[in-house]
Amino acid sequence: MTRPPAGAETERTEGPAEVPTNASGNGKTTLGDRVAKAGERVRGSEAWESIFRPGSPFRKGYADSPRNRSYVIMNNVLYHLHPVKVKRHGVRLSYTLCLGGLSFFLFILLTITGIFLMFYYTPAVPQAYNDIAALSTNVAFGQLVRNLHRWGAHLMVITVFLHMTRVFYHGAYKPPREFNWVVGVVLLFLTLLLSFTGYLLPWDQLARWAVTVGSNMAGYTPVFGQQVSFVLLGGIQVGAPTLLRFYVLHVLALPFLIVIFMAVHFWRVRKDGGISGPL
Amino acid sequence: MANIPDHLLRRSAEAKAKATGMLVEQVLAEMAGGAVPAAAAAGGATAVASAPATAPAQAIPAVPEGVRTQRMLTVVKAKAIQQVKREPTDKVNVWPHLLAIEFVALLVVTALLVVFSVFQNAPLLELANPNAQPNPSKAPWYFLGLQELLSYFDPQVAGVLIPGLGLAAIAAIPYVDRNRSTRPSDRKFAIMMFTFFVVAAAILTIIGSFYRGKGFTFTFPWRDGIFFDL
């Protein structure tokens, strides 16, 4: 293994103070020193440096310099989301309230908790309810994860909506950002659909009748009302086919769609000149 | 050219004479002949690009009257040149300034969500029963504004037309609002309209959520209780 000569460290050990000194200064090698040294060795290793690209704060000998601050973003997957520099007003918390970023973060949180819930869930008619009920008794942290998923979903609807109002009041939909606003409206619609399809899955009275009321509205569509309702429910009323349909939409179809639209949304934010100008 | 002091001209001529091996006087005479006074034409915002005067290799005498030794190639207007350099803007590094804020925001939201989830369980009523419709039956909260509209309008209007056209109208905002300014004082009408619809939607949702009881009739939550599940 060819290690590049690590400047700072080797110089220190070559100095006259061969005896390793610890915090208490009595010249003994403590466990803390050994751990620190092992950490240094790991962080200087080739494998470590293959993982963290130059400029990463996790690399050995990271120094806070303007060049490294640029590298942290430029040499990182984050470069897909953030430029190296942003306008100073965009960093102010009061400008965006982080609403867009938090919506994205909530989506990730919902994906993680959702995958956990999928391990214990069967989209079949009486079984779905029993599985959800069993989460609170048979599954470690099952109830907590379900709570996180549900409250996170409601919160995501709120943050997406507030993000839209924030963007409106800043006039941030104006040229050249018109199309990204349209993508954002699609994302709002998909968020509502995701929440609505997930609402049915516990298969309790609340879920079934809320979805009945909600999907009745779709049945009033002029001309094709009956057909729309039939396609949505997989029947003339909410039943077992509806559960399966909403399940597939909720865990696969809609997340797939929303991820594509999110990718376009984030890409356009960068391409349209980053965050909109100050008021 | 005429303003160059004599001693400087002489020094230059001496150097040139030394380099070329000519006599100093000869060089001086050549310089005087070649130094045609440039016509001071540049004025205002126009710049005149002069073509090099035809090299007077042996034409030592001054240029005869009526012969122009320069010509105009083009006139460049003051604002015709594009600024290639970008205007300087006040920028900060994303790392650490933005990423630190985002990370803290993420932690705060996670913490709040976990604490809320520890103390508040998600609702789970009894098993779904197609033959026992609860009274009242309510849609998820974000559709309760629409359900509220159902009690005022025909279902086709409240259930399909208003949400459909509403969503289309929201998507069309950037193409309808042709005002380029982002200053709030320049867009009072747009802000007024948007605020009106947001507040109307919020009021309808709140009424639908908390002020509708059995049979979706109007009630007061402090009198008859709350008929609302999240």
Q: Which of A213, A216, A279 is nearest residue B183 as measured by Cβ atoms? A: A279
Please give the backbone phi and psi of residue A30, each rounded to the nearest 5 degrees, phi first: -95, 170
Residue A86 distance to chain B (closest CA, Å): 5
pLDDT band at B60 (very low <50, low <70, confident <90, very high): low
Residue B205 distance to chain A (closest CA, Å): 13
Who contacts A248 (Cβ-Cβ below 8 Å, separation ≥6)? A123
- Residue in chain A lying closest to B179 (CA): A174
Structure tokens at B210: 């908390």
pLDDT of residue B18: 85
Q: Which residue has the tokens 């069993």?
A: A134
pLDDT of residue A238: 93
Q: Which of B98, B137, B190 is nearest residue A209 as measured by Cβ atoms? A: B137
Whether residues A222 and B173 touch (CB distance < 8 A) is answered with: no
More confident residue, B65 or B195: B195
Find out whether A62 and A79 touch, Cβ atoms under 8 Å: no
Residue B12: pLDDT above 80? yes
Find out whether A197 and A254 touch, Cβ atoms under 8 Å: yes
A3/A5 Cα distance (integer angstroms): 6
The distance from CA B182 to its chain's CA centroid, rounded to whole angstroms, is 10
Find out whether B147 and A216 touch, Cβ atoms under 8 Å: no
Q: Which of B122, B142, B147 is nearest residue A157 as measured by Cβ atoms? A: B142
pLDDT of residue A2: 44
pLDDT of residue A23: 60
Whether residues A212 and B137 touch (CB distance < 8 A) is answered with: yes
Q: Which of A90, A106, A217 is nearest residue B160 as measured by Cβ atoms? A: A217
| Average confidence (pLDDT) over B67-91 | 75
Taking all residues of chain B, what is their mean pLDDT, rounded to a whole number? Answer: 83
Please give the backbone phi and psi of residue A14, each rounded to the nearest 5 degrees, phi first: -80, -15
pLDDT of residue A158: 97
Q: Which residue has the tokens 């939607």?
A: B201
Residue B44: pLDDT above 60? no
Question: H helices of chain A, where?
Answer: 7-14, 31-43, 46-51, 66-74, 88-91, 93-96, 99-118, 125-138, 142-169, 178-200, 205-219, 225-233, 240-248, 254-271
Cα four-point dihedral sign A12, A15, A19, A24: negative
pLDDT of residue B49: 46
Whole-angstrom CA distances from A127 to A44, A114, A120, A241 are 53, 18, 11, 14
Q: How many CB pairs under 8 A join A and B?
A: 209
Residue B93: pLDDT above 60? yes
Q: Which of B133, B174, B184 is nearest residue A279 as measured by Cβ atoms? A: B184
DSSP label at residue B37: P
Could you report the predicted ipTM of this complex, rounded to two decimals?
0.83
- pTM, rounded to two decimals: 0.77
Bridge partners of A85, per DSSP, are B93
Whether residues B128 and A207 touch (CB distance < 8 A) is answered with: yes
A184/A178 Cα distance (integer angstroms): 10
A151/B121 Cα distance (integer angstroms): 9
Spell out the SS3 assignment of A154-209.
HHHHHHHHHHHHHHHHCCCCCCCCHHHHHHHHHHHHHHHHHHHHHHHCCCEHHHHH
Question: H helices of B73-187, where?
Answer: 99-119, 144-150, 155, 162-176
A275/B6 Cα distance (integer angstroms): 63
A116/A135 Cα distance (integer angstroms): 11
Contacts of A126 in chain B (CB under 8 A): 127
- Within 13 Å, how many C-alpha atoms sit on residue B82's CB side? 2
Residue A248 distance to chain B (closest CA, Å): 20
Could you report the average pLDDT of every consecutive run of 10 residues in chain A (279 residues)? Answer: 44 46 70 92 91 88 88 88 89 89 96 97 94 94 96 97 95 93 97 96 94 87 85 91 96 97 95 84
Contacts of A102 in chain B (CB under 8 A): 105-106, 109
Mutate to test the interface with A, among B89, B115, B135, B142 (most CBs of A within 10 A): B142
- Residue in chain B lying closest to A181 (CA): B171
pLDDT of residue B34: 59
Q: Which of B105, B175, B229 is nearest residue A206 as measured by Cβ atoms? A: B229
Find out whether A78 and A33 touch, Cβ atoms under 8 Å: no
- Within 13 Å, how many C-alpha atoms sit on residue B18's CB side? 6
- Residue in chain A lying closest to B156 (CA): A220
Bridge partners of B127, per DSSP, are A204
Contacts of B90 in chain A (CB under 8 A): 87-89
Q: Which percentage of chain B shows pLDDT scores above 90?
A: 44
- Residue in chain B lying closest to A170 (CA): B182
pLDDT of residue A6: 45
- Residue in chain B lying closest to A56 (CA): B95
Whether residues A168 and B171 touch (CB distance < 8 A) is answered with: no
Mutate to test the interface with B, among A208, A233, A238, A250 (most CBs of B within 10 A): A208
Buried b (16+ CB within 10 A) or exposed e, B176-203: ebeeeebeeeebeebeeebeeeeeebee
DSSP label at residue B50: E
